[in-house]
Chains A and B, each alone.
Chain A
Amino acid sequence: MNSATRMTEPVLEVRALCKRFGGLVATDQVSLDVRPGEVHALIGPNGAGKTTLVHQLSGTLPPDSGSILFRGDDVTHLAANARVLRGLVRSYQITSIFRQHSVLDNVALAVQARSGSSFRFWRPVRDESALFDEARAVLARVGLADRADVLAANLAHGEQRQLEVGLAVATRPAMLLLDEPMAGMGPEESERLIPLIDGLRKDVSILLIEHDMDAVFRLADRISVLVSGRVIATGTPDDIRANADVKRAYLGDELEAASGGEA
């Protein structure tokens, strides 16, 4: 990471990834890369296979073929938790938090995962102030500082989405796979998440899946478009806006829909 030449190498490289569910090809020869410090957005209609791709990148689902390289290492067959420890961390489109834990405890768990062994049987966690200090710092970052002691189940929907991202951030990732972080958020809640994601790019590379086109075009350095499991285009936001295939397949509808209902 410290050499200047490596800075230009992609952090994440996906090569010809394939995944079928019976007759359905959910991931069809997907190749893409994410460069250091880049926000690479992945857009596409519902059912395009975006979440399925995240499942494979994070190790939740095994691909049928193809490979995943992270920081130069092949992680295609690495267990999910091992990828996290290497810095490849995801968040979920469908909120997955510890509902019966306080907000602070949620984040402290994620911090605990990355700071030393948890095969410790004697010392009470509550005495480990370093864990909670770091957890509070993360909460401040995702805008939940004043909700630390609330039970996660009792958070408002938008706040649960913030916590969802907070859990991922707390693991000190080198790369984040954010699966529709703004899903179900109101406009002003999304507005809070945008600077957070923007601020992360200093030290984290991001693959951002998002339906909110306004957020995508504001945040992304590059955009890839996934339709029916295939990447039909990759390029700068301007390229993508101008791309006729993309317009036909997806973006035209989406931009029209943006004035009307929710995507």
Chain B
Amino acid sequence: MQRALTLAALALAIAFPMAAVPLDLDFYIGFASRVMIYAIAATSLNLILGYGGMVSFGHAAFFGTGAYVVAIAMTHGIDSLWVSWPLAMLVSGIVALGIGAISLRTRGVYFIMITLAFAQMMFFVFIGLKAYGGEEGLNMPHRSVIGLGLNLKNDATFYYVVLTVLVATLYLLRRLIDARFGRVVEAIRENEARMETIGFSTYRYKLTCFVIAGMVCGLAGALIANQTRYVNPNLMHWIVSGDMMIMIILGGLGYRFGGVLGAIVMLVLDEAISPYTTYSKIVIGFVLLAVVLFAPRGLAGLFDRKRVRAGGGHG
């Protein structure tokens, strides 16, 4: 059942640009790419927050890092996707290693605050970084160069590249969660103290998980930089971290498609409402409230009949 739904959604996603062009809906190809990019970012946050129980409030730091790496590399003449995107992942991974190594030594509310503090620190660092545009940010003259006879300038081509990254991310997430590593991460969320006393060094697993999530989010950042051909420090702002959190709470913490569903609902709502009111965030707030009240496991949880989650939660 879920498999059929997944395949149908994938078929729809593949067909979408082919239908959009003749229907004069080109604008929505770009919009759909943006939704998918946020879906990747939210999925990476879901790995640490939903599966791992690490309530990071600074995930946008990696989003912004990935975006800046691509933009900065381009100002230095490095515009190949095959170089700058992996570089974005690498640098984001290193940043995540640094932030994670320190913040994962703390628990609960301290962890939330320290991840937030790190992200805000980076936000201000980039505001002060006049060489790369400071507050104004950086424009990218063009999108990354992919070669292979393709050009990302074409929105449909870019769309398919983003879709490929999204599908790969979801597939890798599934492998990882079903493998030993994922088992450990989910069990740490449930009862970290007991994981220690059956022999696991939980810190190492959490840090690894944090770095993987940071790298994936960095890749999403590389994509958003290409999507808008513009980066600025706001990409790292806590509001972006908060939006990612809202997405996975809406979509379903610890569910594979939680990030995707959340990104779709939130961005589509925003897009649909914002022409009529400046209060679209309030509407989203009410939707969030409704989901939390009536579908506490998020939208993905509504499709899930099998898994019964007994009380408790993030320990």
Contact = CB atoms under 8 A, between A and B. Distances in A.
Interface of A: 58, 60, 79-82, 84-85, 89-90, 92, 96-101, 105, 109-110, 112-114, 117-126, 128, 151, 153-154, 167-168, 170-171
Contact of A112 (B183, B208, B312): B183
Interface of B: 175-176, 178-184, 187, 190-191, 193-202, 205, 208, 308-312
Interface centre among B182, B191, B198, B309 (most CB of A within 10 A): B198
Given A109-B183, A120-B181, A122-B175, A114 B199 contact: yes
B181 A96 contact: no
Nearest to B191: A98
26 contacts: A81-B195, A81-B196, A81-B197, A81-B200, A81-B201, A82-B201, A85-B199, A89-B198, A96-B197, A98-B194, A99-B190, A100-B310, A101-B190, A105-B183, A109-B183, A118-B181, A118-B205, A119-B208, A120-B180, A121-B182, A124-B175, A125-B178, A151-B308, A153-B311, A167-B194, A167-B198
Contacts of B190: 98-101
B179 A113 contact: no
A154 B180 CA distance: 25
B197 A125 contact: no
Contact of A109 (B187, B193, B208): B187
A239 B3 CA distance: 68
B179 A123 contact: yes
Interface centre among A60, A81, A114, A119 (most CB of B within 10 A): A81
A119 B209 CA distance: 10
B194 A122 contact: no
Nearest to A87: B199
Contacts of B312: 99-100, 153
B178 A113 contact: no
B191 A97 contact: yes
A110 B200 CA distance: 9
A171 B198 CA distance: 6
B179 A60 contact: no
B310 A80 contact: no
Nearest to A118: B180
B179 A96 contact: no
Nearest to A124: B178
